Structure 1
Amino acid sequence: MRTLTKWLAASLMALMVLGATGCVGTQSKRPSDPEVDLIGQVQNAASALMKNARLNSGSPLLVATFADIDDLQQSSTLGRTLSEQFTSSLAARGVPVIEVKMRENLFVKERTGELILSRTLHSLVQSHDAQAVLLGTYALGGNNIYVNVRLVRTEDNIILAAHNFSLPMNRDLKAMLPRRR
């Protein structure tokens, strides 16, 4: 009887240890907040755009704020950050980029950013002889944000180059998006 009690106690202890080990293993397999190299992704996208675009080296570009694909009149901190990072990445490659925040005739909507209106685009393009505009959108998925970027020739709206990439959703990116109702 004593042997049976010891055997039951040992078996119970073994089950508890296995159960605890199973819980630890399950917790370690939970996906953590994914790392996102936003700057690296933008640099890669800018490089791909410039490799595929046929641009005049001396003529400048304009960069518009990236808009939410579901509402092209809206942007967010993410949209403004993407446009800022593309501007920096292009300028670092020696591409002349017009700083649009210094222009008065550009439509700036509070908390949205620089969204170029067609009637001001023509004036802005002419005054700076801009050959193209970098435009972008982003779409929110369940686990990813999908980013689309294009270089559009200003004289005829022909897309000179385009690139798409996705960013895994994490806390940093969520913090840059408007709260959804």
Structure 2
Amino acid sequence: MKGKDIILGLLNSKGGLTGYQINDILHSQLRHFYDGGFGMIYPTLKNLEKDGLIYKDRIEQEDKPSKNVFFITESGKEEFKQSVNKKTEPDIIKSDFLMKLYFGEFLEPGKAIEFLKEELHRKKADLSDLKDNLSNWDANGMSDDQRFSAKYGIEYYKAVIKVIEEHLKNKMDGD
């Protein structure tokens, strides 16, 4: 799904959100399968508003800057409904780590092991974060499909960790 569709979906399912709240959801609940951030969010919100798919309410706050809360319009809901019901696209994995290991024959001695350890640490941290967050999200209400996506992420990280650990062991044993 494109960034605009994801933002429409979040506004459709969660109601009014600020750009900051959208960013928080992308980096906590969705980060194991979607890469997006402020650089995508605000231009997309501007375009969605220009196209009449969302609108914003400016909320004045005492002792704080005012904030914009975005809401989906009826035409935005229709646009999202069409998008979410289209055929799924194949997953595309983009990994600097995997590209460097692919060209491992050109790495300095010990670099492959270093990269494997770094990625193992990252994936274990990602797994831990996802597991920790799942209980919080569950407590705040999740649909079965939202829970499935989190569990899918957990199983993905477990599998990747296992593969990295096996390859790291082989590398360290001298294979």
Larger radius of gyration: 1
Q: TM-score, normalised by structure 2?
A: 0.23
Which structure has the highest strand share of the two? Answer: 1
Which structure has the highest helix share of the two? Answer: 2
